């Protein structure tokens, strides 16, 4: 089992331990947090020093974010380090496929559309079998999707650790599976409520506005009696914590675990 | 610009057409699906109102709409389907084609690949669940056969204009009325419509629940923030629960820019809304489109007109958290 460390800030290499053979670096949720080329240079230095494999994580992006990523992918291509690119935007896959065939595309967890809302746990034992199959299933058992992904060069897909479990029995074995632990993402927004959260200005504004990277300062916990576990809002995304090792790991259906020592925002 | 209206029944066709609908979108849920998937819809709308019940009814509605030269688009836009669902999904696809629908609205790349492989002769429209934020995503879906893309709610007017200026040619649909989701639809994995209405808090969307919110400040942030500020910060986090409330969110001010951008369709969310509300929404937009078309209106004057008509129609002031494109209010 390959173990990877996932960090979104260069300083967090402090979490590195010898068990890790791969480093994930980047962001999935916000194009404003895409690392600079300087950050990536620093991380690549660390990767080379520790003889690690490297995975660059990318978010969903507007045209502006796409331009930033194009420059970064070009820089990484010049570094002669075999790089995986986790894409969470079909446009980024299009970019890799058309312009950077040397990079290895990996389908990110935002595009792996599993149902993650924790309230599923309140009903999972009461619903008919087909409904349970859906909540615990994966579309990687659909041949047309898998054929398409492989045609695009995608042979790895990222999974969250769902509270209700994920049955990978019927999924395509040519496509490798990664499991993220312990934080599972549930939802994301561009109407970021962390932006200017500590300012008295615009308390009722909900939209896409400039920010002061308040996501790096505050973490909110949201609790309600019908939600089986607390929700954690960090930046423009919502997560829950699940530290249980799922069956798919014991069955050998997952061949890589990505460890998130902090929520990667 | 055409008005893309929800359609729930045969009886609505004439009245919505008379009000000014230029296109319809609809969904259908049969008992067979509901028995197996009582809390999962095939089309992102929970069971209950807002669906056709039979393909015969759908066919009649499509025929009536076509007599008025109005196309009908069929939603089959859950974010994913597992293999076991495909026999039923295939039945829906083929029955909808038999009913004469003009396009499928889809968001799952797997389903699009399946439709392409089966060779169905039908247009594909990408739902907002397709998460198209940039021109390359448009190109990606176009290669999969899409002829129309619905932009997410989470793009500014400027960002939309950037995408349109660089993308390959496809028709674009944008949201203008109702259900301003706080989360990006295609990346939101909360389950809507859980359980029944008898368990009310369970039934509400997760983003609408009242939460007890606490905050942890990283590093030295805690020392720099006053008690009052912290209270404000927590209060702001709870605005989440107010945004999805369907208190007439509106993006009509942006029609001015949408016309300049060449937007094809203005989407009114609202499958399941009463007919009277659908008619009111369509008339509101139609009045504004006619105003835009009839005169060389200045942007400022159009905004004033749109905001005034909004107040008059819905008996509410414009509010930033109910504004689809709040940059217009700055």
Q: Which residues of A touch B235 (CB under 8 A)?
A: 203
Determine contact: A15 vs chain B, CB below 8 A. no
Looking at the predicted structure, is the pLDDT value of residue A86 above 90?
yes
**Domain range summary for chain B, segments of one domain joined by +:** 2-181+245-329, 197-243
Query: Is the Cβ pair A127, B84 closer than 8 Å?
Result: no
Distance from CA of B328 to the nearest CA of A (A): 11
Span A67-88, mean pLDDT?
A: 95
SS3 B76: coil
Looking at the predicted structure, is the pLDDT value of residue B203 above 90?
no
For helices B55-67 and B12-19, angle between their N-to-C axes, nearest 10 degrees:
30
Q: How far apart are CA A121 and CA A119, in angstroms?
A: 5
What is residue B70's DSSP assignment? -
Q: A198 pLDDT band (50/70/90 cuts)?
A: confident
Q: How many CB pairs under 8 A join A and B?
A: 254
* pLDDT, tens digit (0-9, with 9 covering 90-100), for A11-27: 999 999 999 999 999 99
Q: What is the mean pLDDT of chain A?
A: 95
SS3 B235: helix
Chain mean position to CA B9: 19
Query: Is the Cβ pair A231, B141 closer than 8 Å?
Result: no
Greater pLDDT, B48 or A183? A183
Beta strands in B157-226 (DSSP E): 171-177, 212-217
Looking at the predicted structure, is the pLDDT value of residue B198 above 60?
no
Cβ distance B227 to B201 under 8 Å? no
The residue to which tokens 């749109």 are assigned: B306
Span A80-89, mean pLDDT?
A: 93
* Tokens, residue B87: 């026999």
Greater pLDDT, B291 or B45? B291
pLDDT score, position B219: 73
* pLDDT, tens digit (0-9, with 9 covering 90-100), for B47-63: 777 899 999 999 999 99
* pLDDT, tens digit (0-9, with 9 covering 90-100), for B233-288: 888 888 878 777 778 999 999 999 999 999 999 999 999 999 999 999 999 999 99
Query: Is the Cβ pair A91, B117 closer than 8 Å?
Result: no
**Domain range summary for chain A, segments of one domain joined by +:** 2-184+240-259
Query: Is the Cβ pair B233, A197 closer than 8 Å?
Result: yes
The residue to which tokens 């605005």 are assigned: B239
Cβ distance A33 to A265 under 8 Å? yes
Determine contact: A245 vs chain B, CB below 8 A. no
Query: Is the Cβ pair B202, A122 closer than 8 Å?
Result: yes
Determine contact: A150 vs chain B, CB below 8 A. no
Span A231-258, mean pLDDT?
A: 97
Chain mean position to CA A159: 8
Q: How far apart are CA A173 and CA A155, in angstroms?
A: 10
* Tokens, residue A238: 């919502």
**Beta strands at A83-87 and A53-57: parallel, antiparallel or unpaired:** parallel
Q: Give the ipTM of the model, two decimals please.
A: 0.96
Per cent of chain A over pLDDT 90 is 92
Query: Is the Cβ pair B236, A193 closer than 8 Å?
Result: yes
Determine contact: A175 vs chain B, CB below 8 A. no
Neighbours of B14 (CB within 10 A): 13
Span A159-178, mean pLDDT?
A: 97
SS3 A236: coil
A169 contacts: CB under 8 Å, gap ≥ 6: A253
* pLDDT, tens digit (0-9, with 9 covering 90-100), for B65-96: 999 999 999 999 999 999 999 999 999 999 99
Query: Is the Cβ pair A218, B133 closer than 8 Å?
Result: no
Mutate to test the interface with A, among B32, B44, B110, B204 (most CBs of A within 10 A): B110
Q: A202 pLDDT band (50/70/90 cuts)?
A: confident
Q: How far apart are CA A124 and CA A165, in angstroms?
A: 10
Q: Which residues of A touch B206 (CB under 8 A)?
A: 117, 119, 187, 227, 231
H helices within A33-183, ranges in order?
Answer: 37-49, 63-78, 90-99, 129-136, 143-151
Query: Is the Cβ pair A119, B235 closer than 8 Å?
Result: no
Determine contact: A216 vs chain B, CB below 8 A. yes
Residue in chain B nearest A160 by alpha carbon: B189
Q: What is the pTM of this model?
A: 0.96
Determine contact: A18 vs chain B, CB below 8 A. no
Q: What is the mean pLDDT of chain B?
A: 92
* Tokens, residue A165: 């479990």
Looking at the predicted structure, is the pLDDT value of residue B229 above 70?
yes
- Tell me yes or no: is domain B2-181+245-329 CATH 3.20.20.70: yes
Determine contact: A210 vs chain B, CB below 8 A. no
pLDDT score, position B315: 96
pLDDT score, position A196: 84
Mutate to test the interface with A, among B80, B208, B324 (most CBs of A within 10 A): B80
Determine contact: A142 vs chain B, CB below 8 A. yes
Residue B118: C-alpha distances to residues A210, B27, B122, B146, B181 (Å): 46, 21, 11, 15, 34
Angle at A40 between CA A59 and CA A209, to 5 degrees: 40
- Does an H or E element contain A18, and which? none
Q: Tell the CATH topology of A2-184+240-259.
A: TIM Barrel (3.20.20)
Q: Which of residues 77-116 of A touch B (CB under 8 A)?
A: 89-95, 110, 113-116
* pLDDT, tens digit (0-9, with 9 covering 90-100), for B89-137: 999 999 999 999 999 999 999 999 999 999 999 999 999 999 999 999 9
SS3 A231: strand
Determine contact: A48 vs chain B, CB below 8 A. no
Distance from CA of B140 to the nearest CA of A (A): 6
Per cent of chain A over pLDDT 70 is 100
pLDDT score, position A199: 78
Span B8-29, mean pLDDT?
A: 98
Q: Report helix, strand and coil shares of chain B as percent, to nearest 5.
A: 50, 15, 40
Cβ distance B177 to A126 under 8 Å? no
Q: Which residues of A touch B108 (CB under 8 A)?
A: 113, 139
* pLDDT, tens digit (0-9, with 9 covering 90-100), for A20-65: 999 999 999 999 999 999 999 999 999 999 999 999 999 999 999 9
Cβ distance B250 to B307 under 8 Å? no
Per cent of chain B over pLDDT 70 is 95
Q: Which residues of A touch B241 (CB under 8 A)?
A: none
Span B186-212, mean pLDDT?
A: 77
Q: B230 pLDDT band (50/70/90 cuts)?
A: confident
Cβ distance B26 to B13 under 8 Å? no
Give the count of alpha carbons within 13 A of B273, CB side only: 22
pLDDT score, position B66: 98
Looking at the predicted structure, is the pLDDT value of residue B195 above 70?
no
Residue in chain B nearest A97 by alpha carbon: B140
């Amino acid at each position: 089992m390959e173990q990877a460390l996932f960090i979104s800030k260069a300083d967090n290499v402090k979490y590195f331990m010898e068990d890790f053979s791969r480093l994930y670096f980047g962001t999935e949720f916000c194009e404003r947090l895409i690392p600079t080329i300087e950050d990536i240079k620093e991380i690549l230095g660390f990767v080379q020093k520790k003889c690690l494999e490297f995975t660059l994580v990318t978010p969903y992006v507007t045209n502006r974010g796409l331009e930033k990523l194009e420059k970064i992918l070009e820089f990484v291509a010049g570094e002669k380090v075999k790089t995986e690119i986790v894409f969470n935007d079909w446009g980024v896959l299009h970019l890799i496929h058309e312009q950077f065939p040397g990079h290895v595309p990996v389908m990110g967890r935002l595009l792996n559309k599993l149902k993650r809302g924790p309230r599923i746990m309140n009903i999972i034992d009461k619903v008919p079998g087909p409904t349970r199959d859906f909540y615990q299933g994966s579309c990687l058992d659909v041949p047309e999707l898998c054929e398409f992904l492989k045609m695009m060069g995608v042979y790895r897909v990222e999974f969250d650790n769902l509270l209700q479990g994920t049955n990978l029995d019927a999924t395509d074995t040519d496509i490798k599976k990664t499991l993220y632990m312990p934080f599972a993402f549930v939802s994301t927004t561009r109407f970021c409520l962390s932006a200017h959260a500590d300012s008295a200005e615009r308390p009722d504004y909900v939209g896409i506005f400039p920010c002061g990277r308040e996501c790096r300062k505050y973490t909110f916990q949201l609790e309600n009696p019908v939600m089986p576990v607390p929700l954690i809002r960090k930046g423009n995304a919502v997560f829950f914590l699940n530290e249980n090792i799922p069956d798919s790991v014991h069955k050998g259906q997952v061949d890589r675990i990505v460890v998130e020592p902090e929520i990667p925002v | 610009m055409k008005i893309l209206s929800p359609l729930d029944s045969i009886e609505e066709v004439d009245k919505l057409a008379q009000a000014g609908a230029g296109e319809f979108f609809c969904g259908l849920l049969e008992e067979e699906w509901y028995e197996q998937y009582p809390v999962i819809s095939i089309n992102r709308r929970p069971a209950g109102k807002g669906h056709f019940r039979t393909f015969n009814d759908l066919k009649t509605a499509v025929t009536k709409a076509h007599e008025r030269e109005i196309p009908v688009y069929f939603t089959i836009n859950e974010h994913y389907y597992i293999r076991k669902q495909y026999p039923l999904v295939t039945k829906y696809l083929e029955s909808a084609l038999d009913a004469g629908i003009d396009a499928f609205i889809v968001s799952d790349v797997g389903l699009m690949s399946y439709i392409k492989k089966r060779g169905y002769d039908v247009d594909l429209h990408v739902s907002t669940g397709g998460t198209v934020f940039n021109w390359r995503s448009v190109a990606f879906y176009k290669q999969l056969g899409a002829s129309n893309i619905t932009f997410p709610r989470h793009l500014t007017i400027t960002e939309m204009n950037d995408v349109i200026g660089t993308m390959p040619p496809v028709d674009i649909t944008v949201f203008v009325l109702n259900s301003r989701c706080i989360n990006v639809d295609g990346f939101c994995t909360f389950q809507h419509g859980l359980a029944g209405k008898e368990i009310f808090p369970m039934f509400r969307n997760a983003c609408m629940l009242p939460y007890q919110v606490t905050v942890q400040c990283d590093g030295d942030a805690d020392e720099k923030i006053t008690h009052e500020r912290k209270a404000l910060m927590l209060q702001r986090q709870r605005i989440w629960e107010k945004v999805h409330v369907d208190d007439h969110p509106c993006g009509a001010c942006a029609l001015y820019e949408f016309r300049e951008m060449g937007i094809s369709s203005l989407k009114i969310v609202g499958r399941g809304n009463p007919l009277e509300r659908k008619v009111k929404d369509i008339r509101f937009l139609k009045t504004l489109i006619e105003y835009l078309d009839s005169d060389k209106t200045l942007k400022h004057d159009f905004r004033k007109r749109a905001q005034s008509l909004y107040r008059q129609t819905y008996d509410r002031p414009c509010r930033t958290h109910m504004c689809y494109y709040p940059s217009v209010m700055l």
